[in-house]
Each structure stands twice: as structure tokens, then as C-alpha cells.
Chain A
């Protein structure tokens, strides 16, 4: 295990995060509510949190947000994915490192999704100069519970599998 191996693993996670978020943007969402989405990129963030350092996780989230914003929703939407992504990564990191006894990966993922949508709504009301978008918060919270549970279950399965294969063994000594 050397430093290059760690970088390679980070790059693999970044490209996976980009691809998965891009593919998600191609799936039409049946409800016309701003901010409702699956948040599949969260799976990769969760894997990063489980195996890498906090800086590496931030790197993954930032690169993913930039690339996906350019590819799909336009650079103006970057502010949403970036604030939401970074804040939810921070909360999930804290929960995973400090409160693993209380929360499973599914719960941590749900908490991340909730933080993500709340942050987006706050940013949206600042951009629009109106608090009326807060009206969407209850619906977003419900959808966060559902999507967080889906991505959390996938992340949990993946993390257990990756741990068994020892892909990230000793990676944090670099």
C-alpha cells in the first residue's frame, strides 16, 4: 500500500460519484418539487467517510459537485449542490465517527439527506429573496427519509463488501 494507491482509490470514488450523479440526473422524477432527488452520489460520500480522511471526502464532494453542475444543471445550481453536499458530508462524518453506536449507516444517510435538503431550501430562499419556498420543506423532509433509506441501504451493503475485500486496508496511514 502506498500513496499512489490511495490517490487511485480516491479518483475511482470521484469518477464513480460523478457517473452515478450524472446517471441519476437522466432519471425523470415524477414529482415537480424543486430539490427532490435520489441523491445516489451520497452512497460514494458514505463510502469515503467509512474508509478515508475528512479532507478526502470533501475533495470527492467538491469535484463531484463541480463536474455534475457543469454537465447537467448549469453552474448556477452549483451553489445548491455544494452547500448541501458539504454540510451533509460534515454531519454524516460526525455521526459516523462519534455516534456510530446510536446510528446505523442507514440512519446516518437519512440524516445526511435531511441536512442536504434543508440546506438547499435555505439557499433557495436566500437566492429567491423569498421565504415562500420553505413551504416545500415538509415534503422534502419526507422524501429525504425515503431516499436516505434507499441510498443508506445501498451504502451499507457496499461498505460491508468493500471492508471484506480489504480494498482500503491501511489506506489512512498516508
Chain B
């Protein structure tokens, strides 16, 4: 059993190296996000590599549905200050489970439906 718990040099170097590479951008986004004003949020819907819709989330008054009927059927629901995948006709349901997108750089991806929803923050637009 002792031999099985042993790690070799390369294991440790690999884990440290990749771990550091991965943690830096995570910290970057986390620290960069703090205390930011959540204004001028624009939701962008990308399907098949094209930006098919941009919605100013601050100006949405009533619930707005975006439906895609071709290929993997997808329904996206935009409301004031938030947007989410409501339904997707795919097996993994990852995009639906992602839930509400409310702040800049939030995103949800539906791989089978080739659809991305993400939030961008307009700067200097006012």
C-alpha cells in the first residue's frame, strides 16, 4: 500500500505548474469583478458563431423570449437585469443548469445547440 500512495517528481511539478496556470486567471476575474457597478448590461446571444441578438438588460420591461426552432430547440428568457436559458432540447441541460446570468462576464453555453449567451458591460456609453 505504501508504494501506491507515493508520488513521483513529475507528478508534483505537473500539478503545481498547471494549478498555478489555472488559478491566476480565476483570481484575476474574481478580483476584477469585485465592487464593479452592475450597469449598462448587454446580453449577447451567439448562435452558430454569429451574434444573433443583443439585448440591453436594463431596458427590458416585460419578459422577453428568444426561441430557436432549428436544430436543437432552445428558449432563452430575458428579464430586467437578467437572462437565462429556459429550455433546451438537449441531453446534458448544462446551459439550463447554469441558471441566471446577472453580471458582466457571466455566460452559459449550450454546446449541442451551438448557442452562447453572455453578458457584456458597455463602457462610456452614457
A residues adjacent to B (C-beta < 8 A): 32-34, 72-74, 76-77, 80, 99, 101-104, 106-107, 110-111, 114, 124, 127-130, 132-133, 135-139, 141-142, 144-145, 153, 156-157, 160
Contacts and interface: CB of A to CB of B under 8 A. Distances in A.
Interface residues of B, number: 38
Contact of B10 (A107, A133, A139): A107
Nearest to B92: A73
Interface stretch (B33-41, B55-63, B74-82, B94-102): B94-102
Chain A residues touching B, majority SS: helix
Contacts of A107: 7-8, 10-11, 14-15
Interface in B104-120: 105, 107-109, 111-112, 114, 116, 118
A32 B98 contact: yes
A124 B10 contact: no
Interface string B41-64: 000001011100000000000000
A160 B1 CA distance: 10
A134 B69 CA distance: 27
Given A110-B18, A139-B22, 19 more contacts: A32-B94, A32-B98, A33-B94, A72-B91, A73-B92, A103-B10, A104-B8, A106-B7, A107-B15, A110-B15, A128-B114, A129-B49, A130-B46, A130-B116, A132-B116, A138-B24, A139-B26, A142-B19, A145-B19
Contact of A73 (B19, B91, B97, B107): B91
